[in-house]
Every structure is written in structure tokens, then in C-alpha cells.
């Protein structure tokens, strides 16, 4: 919650590590900028309350939860859960009557894009969302402004996929695609030393804040 007690809403969506310290830290950063932030437990139908450490030892467990979420939860249920979370954010008295955005990292970046293509957020921020390039046909329903962030050395998202996203969407004035060419995956996650890139974050985070300020408050 921002100090003002109310503000535009942001639905902040998790990485495969769950709703842990990185996500809550970003939620606090956004609250300091004046936003009301809701972090839904995306994996709750598989196992609620997942919050793994951001280290190599936890990575396989994170992939396991991701696999179970992908295979055990029907796609229509995943989408419905995301829509319910967005509706809940909008219904909060601290947000009522103001704009809302979907924003996410890694898995959450893909889920934020999914929300943008299926519901009506006022803006969307998608950080290195794996799988977006495979769902570009969904973008015919994309109506809100959206900003994408990718790393140019991401082993999980080849540059060809980023190029496909840019080619499909970059003719829209409401779409931004930013690539930090020296960065890999999860470069904003300061709790994951194997991924974090401080120089890339110093570029991407101000772009995100500027985008949110313009689309939610402007």
C-alpha cells in the first residue's frame, strides 16, 4: 500500500520461484511510487504458499512446480484465475475508480501478456516472459499499452523469439519492446546472483516506472 492509502493498482505476477522476497520487494518499490500492489499466489491450485530461495538448489523445485502448474491446471482455469485476480484488485476500495496494470517477471511476464490478451487492464509490463512468441495470435485481442523487456543473452528466450514479437507488434504505437543486449534471463532479480545484471536493471526499471506513470497516472 502507498502512504496515501489508495492509488492505481498493479497486479504483480510471480516468477517460477513463487511469491517470495524478490516479488514483495518489487511490490514495496511500486507502493513507494504510489501504487496499490496485489501479488496473487499463482501456484495455489498445485501447492499454495510457494516461496523458494533464488539459488541453484531451488531451481529444479521451481521447474517442478511450473511443470505441475502447466500440466495439472487446465488453461481455461489458469486464465479464469488471472481474470479473478484482476477483478479483485479493481474491486478494492483503495483502487476503486482508478486504472490498473498487469505486470510480471519470467512466468509472470507471460501471464501478464495473457491477461492483456484476455481481459482489459489499462497497461501491461512483461519482463522476459517465456512462451509469448508462441502465442502471438492471441495479440489480436490486445488493446492496452504494453512494454516488453528482454535480455539479449537469455538462454530461455532466443533472440529469434524476441525478433518475432517485435515484428508482430512493433508497428503498434502502444507497444514497446526493449532488449538489454548484455543481459540474460531474470536480470532484474537482485536476489539471484546467477541472473542479476545491475547495469541492465538501471536501464529497464526507469523505463517501467515512466511507462506506468504515463499510462496509470497521466
Strand-pair partners of 177:
148
Phi, psi of 114 (to 5 degrees): -60, -45
How many CA atoms does the CB half-sphere of 80 hold within 13 Å?
6
In this structure, are residues 100 and 125 in contact, taking their beta carbons and an 8 Å threshold? no
Sequence-distant (6+) residues with CB within 8 A of 193 are: none
Handedness of CA 53, 58, 61, 66 (dihedral sign): positive
Task: Determine the length of the chain.
Answer: 218
Active-site residue among 106, 117, 149, 196?
Answer: 106
In the residue annotation, 106 being an active-site residue is answered as yes
User: Cell triple for residue 39?
Assistant: 501479488
Active-site residue among 54, 117, 149, 154?
Answer: 154
Which residues belong to the active site? 106, 154, 185
Amino acid at each position: 500500500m502507498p502512504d496515501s492509502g489508495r492509488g492505481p493498482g498493479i497486479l504483480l505476477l510471480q516468477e517460477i520461484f513463487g511469491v517470495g522476497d524478490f516479488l514483495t520487494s518489487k511490490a514495496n518499490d511500486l507502493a513507494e511510487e504510489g501504487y496499490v500492489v496485489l501479488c496473487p499466489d499463482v501456484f495455489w491450485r498445485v501447492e499454495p504458499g510457494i516461496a523458494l530461495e533464488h539459488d541453484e538448489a531451488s531451481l529444479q523445485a521451481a521447474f517442478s512446480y511450473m511443470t505441475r502448474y502447466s500440466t495439472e491446471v487446465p488453461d481455461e482455469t489458469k486464465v479464469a484465475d488471472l481474470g479473478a485476480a484482476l477483478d479483485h484488485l479493481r474491486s478494492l476500495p483503495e483502487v476503486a475508480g482508478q486504472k490498473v496494470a498487469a505486470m510480471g517477471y519470467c512466468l509472470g511476464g507471460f501471464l501478464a501478456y495473457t491477461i492483456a490478451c484476455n481481459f482489459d487492464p489499462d497497461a501491461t509490463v512483461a519482463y522476459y516472459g517465456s512462451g509469448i512468441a508462441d502465442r502471438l495470435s492471441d495479440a489480436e485481442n490486445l488493446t492496452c499499452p504494453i512494454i516488453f523487456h528482454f535480455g539479449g543473452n537469455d538462454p530461455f528466450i532466443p533472440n529469434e523469439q524476441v525478433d518475432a514479437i517485435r515484428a508482430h507488434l512493433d508497428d503498434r504505437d502502444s507497444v514497446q519492446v526493449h532488449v538489454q543486449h548484455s543481459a540474460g534471463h531474470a536480470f532484474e532479480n537482485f536476489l539471484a546472483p546467477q541472473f542479476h545484471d545491475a547495469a541492465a536493471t538501471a536501464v529497464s526499471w526507469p523505463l517501467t516506472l515512466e511507462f506506468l506513470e504515463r499510462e496509470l497516472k497521466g
